[in-house]
Chains A and B, each alone.
Chain A
Amino acid sequence: MKYLCLIYDNESEWQKFPKEVQDKYMGEYMAFGDSIKKSGQYVGANQLQPSHTATVVRSRNGKVSTTDGPFVETKEQLGGYYLVEAKDLNDAIQIASRIPSARSGAIEVRPIVERNAA
């Protein structure tokens, strides 16, 4: 099964970290990424620009409206994701628990709807 691991962490805390702490963090992310590539569980991943860069778009009766900001304001913001291949939820939880931000923020694990090509 495929699972999306959404990474929620406190952006403003992160921006306040000195450069060497940020570098250490990034190093941990690199190591984690390498480990799931090696194990064949990696499907995809991206880091997102901070939430202040977000734009919310709606289309109603053909009219497009655009507003500033993330869809929901929360204490921890969506900062990136990993798409992983896991045997089952326990396997996915095991992977998610190793994402560096699991220690400071939280990881939401969501199964991907699998549609078989007919």
Chain B
Amino acid sequence: MNDDNAAHVRDRVDAIYRSDSRRVLATLIRLLGDFDLAEEALHDAFATAVEQWPGKGIPSNPSAWLISTGRFKAVDRLRKSARFESADGEVLDRLQARETPDRGEEGVEDDRLRLIFTCCHPALSADAQIALTLREVCGLTTEEVARAFLTPASTLAQRIVRGKSKIRDAGIPYEIPSLSDLPDRLDSVLHVIYLVFNEGYVASAGPELTRESLSAEAIRLGRLLVELLPEPEAMGLLALMLLHEARRAGRTSSVGDLILLEDQDRSLWNREQIQEGVTLVERALTSRRIGPYSLQAAIAAVHAEAPDTASTDWAQIVALYDVLLKAEPSAVIELNRAAAIAMRDGPETGLELIDKILATGELVDYYPAHAARGELCRRLGRVSDARAAYTRTLELVTQEPERRFLERRLMELDSRG
């Protein structure tokens, strides 16, 4: 063994860690029946690889080797501590009673799906679902997740510990839901992925408008899900994320200021992502099981394919919002529909609809409602109404770039008198 060889093996181990560690972990959790034990086993398996592979060579099937080494190390670890703790002895008995994992990689992809469904189990709090998914499925470190969500690492670590102990103590099973439970449980998974994406796309607070790495992570998760479980709504969500992500470069100026859709330089949009998104929407829509994510993606696709705001097919967008409202009645969707109607039929009609929504008491503290109202008043030349609406928006907004945008709008209105 020479140093060159050792360095080469170390590079390969690093690459295998990046590509396969989540797969190996997912299977170890199934075999060992415990998250913490599986994580230790994963760590032990990679440490052993670094030790042994330079001398013995890299095995032909590295993941299978890592899984069986990890399992062996876990049993060993338990055997040592079992002398002191009877509880470990019980785990050990159970483990040894299980069949040996010599079935190659069969069912390994199912393990990744099991892991996703377990981390996104609706019996866990939303915070715990997100933290566990990013930590266990995506393999981010606790510090990385904490930084992305502007949360102290200690808070995040606690969320993960609590989540794992609920999985263990409440008996959340490590399994893919039955066909009858699948729609509900898939919703929960899609919701977690979309929350992660949105946190990256529209950071809810802080100096930056977006946190790209979270969106990239959500898209990676979306791809994995479509690969493992090609359900129409999983495709719809992936399409929706890609179509939004495609506009990222056009969404903010070089100094990080917000640019509205109508003012964006569309040549900056990522055509490749748009193409992939559009193809996925078309696939999802032909399934005849059309859900809210696919419909939102279809709306995003109409925007993405239009050369500018004026030639956008607003009639089709309004029609899609009508279907979406039936599938998922919500005031936010009504607001978006009102904005589309303003584009189709003129600002006056849109404004009437927004005022009707606000009159119900819904969305009165939702800043996009006041921002949309301000925009329509501005277009109608109702300067003082526009100023009042933007001032209200400014009171509600928590992001710096949004704040700067509104301040700019208010200044423009002032100059108009």
Contact across chains for A111 and B170 when beta carbons are under 8 A apart: yes
Q: Chain A residues near B90: list those with CB within 8 A.
A: 116
Contact with B along A56-98 (1 / 0, CB 8 A): 0000000000000000000000000000001111111100000
Q: Say yes or no: A111 contacts B175, CB within 8 Å.
A: no
Residue of A nearest to B168 (CB): A111
Are A90 and B177 in touch, CB under 8 angstroms? yes
Q: Is B207 interfacial (CB 8 A cutoff)? A: no
CB-defined interface of B4-29 with A at 8 Å, one 1/0 digit per residue?
Answer: 00000000000000000000000000
Tell me if B417 is interfacial: C-beta within 8 Å of chain A.
Answer: no
Q: Which residues of A contact B262 (CB under 8 A)?
A: none
A36 contacts the other chain (CB 8 A): no
Kindly state the interface size class of chain A when it binds its partner: 10 to 19
Do B170 and A87 touch across chains, with their CB atoms under 8 A apart?
A: no
> Does B172 make an interface contact (CB < 8 A)?
yes
Is residue A1 within 8 Å, beta carbon to beta carbon, of the partner chain?
Answer: yes
Contact among B121, B171, B177 for A1, CB-based, below 8 A: B171
Choose among A87, A93, A111 the residue that contacts B169 (Cβ–Cβ < 8 A). A111
Let me know if B170 and A90 touch, CB within 8 A.
no
Q: How far is the CA of A12 from the CA of B171 in the complex (A)?
A: 34
Contacts of A89 in B (CB 8 A): 121, 123, 170-173
- How far is A80 from B121 in the complex, measured between Cα atoms in Å? 27
**Considering the chains assembled together, what is the distance between the CA atoms of A92 and B169 in angstroms?**
13
Give A16-58 as 1s and 0s: 1 = Cβ < 8 Å from B's Cβ atoms: 0000000000000000000000000000000000000000000
Which B residues touch A118, using CB under 8 A? 86
- Chain B residues 74 to 91 lying within 8 A of chain A, measured CB to CB, are 86, 90
- The answer to whether B173 touches A88, judged by C-beta atoms less than 8 angstroms apart, is yes
Contact call A90/B175, Cβ cutoff below 8 A: yes
A59 to chain B, nearest CB (A): 29
Min CB distance B376 to A, Å, is 41
Q: Please, what's the 1-or-0 string for B164-191, where 1 marks a CB less than 8 Å from any CB in chain A?
A: 0000011111010100010000000000
Which residues on B sit within 8 Å (CB–CB) of A1? 171
Query: Contact string, A96-118, partner B, CB cutoff 8 A, digits 1/0?
Result: 00000000000000010000101
The chain A residues found within 8 Å of chain B, CB to CB, are 1, 3, 86-93, 111, 116, 118
Sampled A-B contacts (26; CB under 8 Å)? A1-B171, A3-B171, A86-B171, A87-B173, A88-B171, A88-B172, A88-B173, A89-B121, A89-B123, A89-B170, A89-B171, A89-B172, A89-B173, A90-B172, A90-B173, A90-B175, A90-B177, A90-B181, A91-B173, A92-B171, A93-B123, A111-B169, A111-B170, A111-B171, A116-B90, A118-B86
Task: Rank and list the top 9 A-B pairs by shortest CB-CB distance, nearest first.
Answer: A88-B173, A88-B171, A89-B171, A1-B171, A89-B172, A89-B170, A111-B170, A90-B173, A111-B171
